[in-house]
Structure 1
Amino acid sequence: MINAISRGLLWVLVLLVTSNVLAAEKQITVREFSLTQGALREQLVANIRFEYTLDDKLRDSLLNGVTLVNEIRFDLITHSEWWWDSKVRLDSIVTELKYHALSHNYQLLDRHSRESWNFSSLAAALAFMGTVNGHHLPSIPIEAFGNDSAIYVSAVLGPKGEGAFSITTLFSEKTELVSQGVMWPLTR
């Protein structure tokens, strides 16, 4: 009887440990986050570090020629007691990650500036992609300060697709990673 209970507890422990390991396989984690005041009160400067952990499916698709698109989003959210919160996109940083099989390099392309960087390892490319230093956000309306508003920052990483209405999206799994967001309240 005691052996059966101890075996049962051992199985529960093994299931808990493996489920935590499997749950941690693919994710985007916020490691550092700060907003500082820029030259004007209405302008904020963002410093963020996201950590990316890819699952085997995303890693294999990258190695097989699929381009991954990363978007770091900056939203202005104003809370409402009567209706839904309002959300306005302030800015976004969009990058593409590709693997070149001939050179064995990972190429990161900034869609806005068209600047590109090459990395010899996936870990280095993901670390660079997730680091945002000194990013100036557009001016925030002065009425947002002290009006129960906040800056909400999140990241999304997924394969570059043909769009939301392609026939392949109906029959394929959703393989994108979405981070938990970070909210920074705007005070007076």
Structure 2
Amino acid sequence: MKMIIKSFFKSRSAWLLLGLMWAALLFPVTAAVAEERITVHDFVLYDGDSREQLVASVRFDYHLTKYLRDSLRNGITLRSETRFDLMWHSDWWWNKTQTLDRVVSELKYHALTGQYQLVNKTTNANWNFSNLATALQQLGRLDKYKLPALPESAFTGDAAIYIESRLEPRASESLGVSAKLAALFSNEKHELISQGVMWPLTP
């Protein structure tokens, strides 16, 4: 009996030690993943000139992986796409989704000038920054952006506007990068995706 009890405590201690080792390995990984992502901090829709015209203000925080930071410094373009979709919820079937708008931006680093160049491909606005942190702040800011007019169907059923942002590396063939290598740099495993946020349009 004494041997059984002693063996039980040894076994229990071993499992406890193993659990602590797994926790020590798991938590740093979890913390790292939490730091390397896109988070939504603000998302507000305002009424525009009419009921169908809405104005969006959004703020994302971009936390880049080391791979993305290094790629940017080595001439790879980071492409951001913020998606606005109309979504109708259904309890019986798949949710219906319709594209409303896309806002695409590109961030590049110019080694000769030491500047980060940000271009909003949708509005044609562009900026230059001396440091990455400020460039990412501007990349994640969308102020008073006028969305396309909503269709009449947006005010029927259980409708909402769904927003999501993605960031991925894009190698440019104009820099002498082959199409095959460009596709490698654009691999989905390196992209960052924000959590999706919905803004109800109907009560």
Q: 1:81 to 1:8 in 2, by over 3 A?
A: closer
How many pairs are equivalent? 186
CA RMSD of aligned residues (A): 2.4
- More displaced stretch, 172-181 vs 116-125: 172-181
Q: Is the 8 A contact 2:46 2:54 kept in 1?
A: yes
Q: Which amino acid aligns with 1:12?
A: W
Alignment of 1:53-64 (within 5 A): 53-64=63-74
Alignment of 1:9-158 (within 5 A): 9-158=19-168
Aligned-partner SS, 1:103: coil
Percent identity of equivalent pairs: 47
Instruction: Name the structure where helix makes up a greater proportion of residues.
Output: 2
Q: For the residues of structure 1 that align with 2:54 and 2:168, how far apart are their CA atoms?
A: 28
Aligned-partner SS, 2:81: strand
Q: For the residues of structure 1 that align with 2:91 and 2:112, how far apart are their CA atoms?
A: 56
Q: 1:84 to 1:161 in 2, by over 3 A?
A: farther
TM-score norm. by structure 2 comes to 0.81
Higher radius of gyration, 1 or 2: 2
Structure 1 residue 178 corresponds to structure 2 residue 193: yes
Q: Which residue of 2 aligns with 1:187?
A: 202
- Runs (4 or more) in structure 1 with deviation over 6 Å come to none
Q: For the residues of structure 1 that align with 2:187 and 2:84, how far apart are their CA atoms?
A: 27
Q: Is the 8 A contact 2:169 2:186 kept in 1?
A: no
Q: For the residues of structure 1 that align with 2:46 and 2:32, how far apart are their CA atoms?
A: 36
Q: Point out where structure 1 has 5 or more consecutive residues left out of the alignment.
A: none
Q: For the residues of structure 2 that align with 1:172 and 1:77, how far apart are their CA atoms?
A: 28
Q: For the residues of structure 1 that align with 2:148 and 2:98, how far apart are their CA atoms?
A: 12
Cα deviation for residue 125 of structure 1 reads 0.5
